[in-house]
Amino acid sequence: MTSLAYTVADSATMLRRNLKHQLRYPSLTLMLAGMPIVFLLLFVYIFGGQLGTGLGGHGAGGRGAYLTYVVPGILIITVASAALGTAISVATDMTGGIIDRFRTMAISRGAVLTGHVIGSLLQTLAVLVLVVGVSLALGFRSHASALEWLAAAGMLALFAFALIWLSAALGLAAKSVETASNTPMFLTLLPFLSSAFVATATMPAGLRQFAEYEPFTPVTQTIRGLLTGGPTGTQAIVAIAWSIGIALASYLWAVRLYNRRRATTPN
């Protein structure tokens, strides 16, 4: 086998390992899926009636209109909350003994992290399917074509990929599993400071500027445009640029942390 073939084989082995973990202990996956579904119900049935009337341009207003508005935001918060799992599983691995075993074996560099990241990505996509299913059950309807659905899925996957690498790096940077489960929490806060739940135009100055320029807004607007109609053009480009930028920076940070880790500790 060539070294590329080894890299692929080792990464696939690590991916199988991570998927087995997810299947055997589904509580983490269920927790990651539970949060956005609770938010969806909360925002549609508690806040939705009132928030919907403020939408104006989005049809007749009311709960139904707000459901249409908020689902893209819920999909974004799904991606953000699912990424939290990566930090936890990476940190669990790094603080356990098995990582030392991997390091003393001739395993392709990066296979351990690749296994985690792809495993988390598949987990996120599964959770997204579940959340879309719940949204449809609640009455969410989209006029998007198959191609637009595909584009939306691609955008979500790309953004998820970026946040998962970021979360993996945070998991590597954490000294304990407890820390790793806390540090990426800001990722679930950022969607609230974006156009995910309310239009940024309704926010006070300062906050509005922040909301308009942070990455969650262009990603949300892109998904919203694709699924419920509306402009996507420049938002999509900004969203893709943010995703690639976050993914690249986080990847480099994660690999650096992975290679440096433990080189300076006695035990």
Partner 1 sequence: MTINTSAPAISARAVRKSFGGHVALDGVDLTVGEGTIFALLGPNGAGKTTMVRILSTLIAADAGDIHVGGHDVARDPDSVRALIGVTGQFSAVDNYLTGEENLRLMADLRHLGRQAGRRRVAELLERFDLSGAARKPLSAYSGGMRRKLDLAMTLVGDPAVIFLDEPTTGLDPRSRRTMWQIIRELAGDGVTIFLTTQYLDEADQLADRVAVLDHGRIVAEGTPAELKRRIPGGHIQLQFAEPNALRAAAAMIPNATPDNDQLILQIPGDGSVASLRRLLNELDDTSIDVEHLSIHSPDLDDVFFAVTGHATTEPATGQEEKVLQP
Q: Residue 74 is encoded by which pair of tokens?
A: 């819920």
Note whether 17 binds partner 1 by CB under 8 A: yes
Nearest Cα neighbor of 211 from 226, 185, 189, 182 is 189
Q: Is 101 in the site for partner 1 (CB under 8 A)?
A: yes
Q: Which of 185, 200, 186, 235 is nearest to 215 (CA)?
A: 235
Q: Is 27 in the site for partner 1 (CB under 8 A)?
A: no
Q: CA angle, corner 169, sides to 21 and 103, nearest 5?
A: 65
Structure tokens that stand for 121 in this block: 């990505």
Q: Which two tokens stand for residue 86?
A: 């990566």
> Rounded to 10 degrees, what is the CA torsion of 233, 222, 210, 170?
-130
Residue 66 · residue 44 · CB < 8 Å:
yes
Binding test (CB under 8 A) with partner 1, winner from 102, 145, 241, 259: 102
Stretch binding partner 1 (CB under 8 A), from 101-109, 121-129, 217-225, 252-260: 101-109
Interacting stretch for partner 1, rule CB under 8 A, among 4-12, 177-185, 235-243, 248-256? 4-12
How many binding residues for partner 1 (CB under 8 A)?
28
Q: Among residues 204 and 266, whose Cβ is nearest to partner 1? A: 266
- Least distance between partner 1 and beta carbon 22 (Å): 9
Contact between 25 and partner 1 per CB under 8 A: yes
**Which stretches of the chain bind partner 1, using CB under 8 A?**
1, 6, 9-10, 13, 16-17, 20-21, 24-25, 96-98, 100-107, 262-267
